[in-house]
Amino acid sequence: MKVKVNQENCIGCGLCVSSAEDLFEFNDEGISVVKVDTVPEDKQDEAKEAIENCPVAAIEEV
Ligand code: SF4
Protein backbone atom coordinates (compact mmCIF):
# COMPACT_ATOMS: atom_id res chain seq x y z
CA MET A 1 0.00 0.00 0.00
CA LYS A 2 0.95 3.62 -0.41
CA VAL A 3 -0.19 6.53 1.72
CA LYS A 4 -0.05 10.27 1.41
CA VAL A 5 -0.59 13.22 3.70
CA ASN A 6 -2.78 16.00 2.44
CA GLN A 7 -0.50 18.91 3.25
CA GLU A 8 -3.33 21.42 3.34
CA ASN A 9 -5.26 19.50 5.98
CA CYS A 10 -2.46 18.42 8.33
CA ILE A 11 -2.39 20.52 11.50
CA GLY A 12 0.96 19.14 12.65
CA CYS A 13 -0.45 17.46 15.75
CA GLY A 14 2.35 14.90 15.63
CA LEU A 15 0.24 11.81 16.23
CA CYS A 16 1.29 9.95 13.10
CA VAL A 17 4.90 11.02 13.48
CA SER A 18 5.10 9.64 17.02
CA SER A 19 3.01 6.51 16.47
CA ALA A 20 4.57 5.49 13.15
CA GLU A 21 7.96 7.13 13.04
CA ASP A 22 9.20 4.83 10.28
CA LEU A 23 6.49 6.12 7.98
CA PHE A 24 5.99 9.81 8.78
CA GLU A 25 8.19 12.76 9.64
CA PHE A 26 7.77 16.50 9.94
CA ASN A 27 8.92 18.74 7.13
CA ASP A 28 10.50 22.13 7.82
CA GLU A 29 7.05 23.65 8.19
CA GLY A 30 5.95 21.22 10.88
CA ILE A 31 3.68 19.32 8.52
CA SER A 32 3.77 15.56 8.28
CA VAL A 33 5.17 13.92 5.17
CA VAL A 34 5.42 10.27 4.22
CA LYS A 35 8.97 8.92 4.38
CA VAL A 36 8.48 5.82 2.26
CA ASP A 37 7.36 5.20 -1.28
CA THR A 38 5.58 1.97 -0.42
CA VAL A 39 4.58 1.00 3.10
CA PRO A 40 6.43 -2.20 4.04
CA GLU A 41 4.26 -5.22 4.81
CA ASP A 42 5.08 -5.14 8.51
CA LYS A 43 4.14 -1.45 8.79
CA GLN A 44 0.75 -1.62 7.16
CA ASP A 45 -1.13 -1.89 10.45
CA GLU A 46 0.67 1.24 11.66
CA ALA A 47 -0.27 3.04 8.46
CA LYS A 48 -3.92 2.04 8.78
CA GLU A 49 -3.99 3.16 12.41
CA ALA A 50 -2.49 6.49 11.40
CA ILE A 51 -5.19 6.92 8.76
CA GLU A 52 -7.91 6.17 11.30
CA ASN A 53 -6.46 8.25 14.10
CA CYS A 54 -5.52 11.45 12.30
CA PRO A 55 -7.83 14.06 13.84
CA VAL A 56 -8.36 15.89 10.53
CA ALA A 57 -8.33 12.85 8.22
CA ALA A 58 -5.31 14.20 6.38
CA ILE A 59 -3.81 10.77 5.68
CA GLU A 60 -5.17 8.59 2.94
CA GLU A 61 -4.30 5.44 1.12
CA VAL A 62 -3.44 6.02 -2.53
S1 SF4 B 1 -1.96 12.83 12.61
FE2 SF4 B 1 -2.80 14.02 10.89
S3 SF4 B 1 -2.79 16.16 11.59
FE4 SF4 B 1 -1.48 15.00 12.96
S5 SF4 B 1 0.60 15.30 12.10
FE6 SF4 B 1 -0.24 13.38 11.26
S7 SF4 B 1 -1.20 13.97 9.29
FE8 SF4 B 1 -0.88 15.84 10.49
pLDDT at 46: 97
pLDDT at 39: 98
Average pLDDT over residues 55-62: 97
Give the ligand 1 atom nearest the CA of 57. 2
Domain boundaries, the chain: 3-61
Question: How far is CA 29 from each of CA 22, 42, 45, 60, rounded to the nearest angstrom?
Answer: 19, 29, 27, 20
CATH (residue range 3-61)? 3.30.70.20
pLDDT tens for residues 21-49? 999 999 999 999 999 999 999 999 999 99
Is the C-beta atom of 58 inside 6 A of ligand 1? yes
Q: Please, which residues have CB within 8 angstroms of residue 56's CB and are 6 or more apart in sequence?
A: 9, 10, 11
Model's pTM, two decimal places?
Answer: 0.95
Is 17:25 a contact under the CB 8 Å cutoff? yes
Chain centre to alpha carbon of residue 2: 10
Is the C-beta atom of 40 inside 6 A of ligand 1? no
pLDDT at 19: 97
Is the C-beta atom of 16 inside 6 A of ligand 1? yes
To the nearest whole percent, how much of the chain has pLDDT over 90? 100
C-alpha 2 – ligand 1 centre gap (Å): 16
Residue 18, φ and ψ in degrees, nearest 5: -85, -30
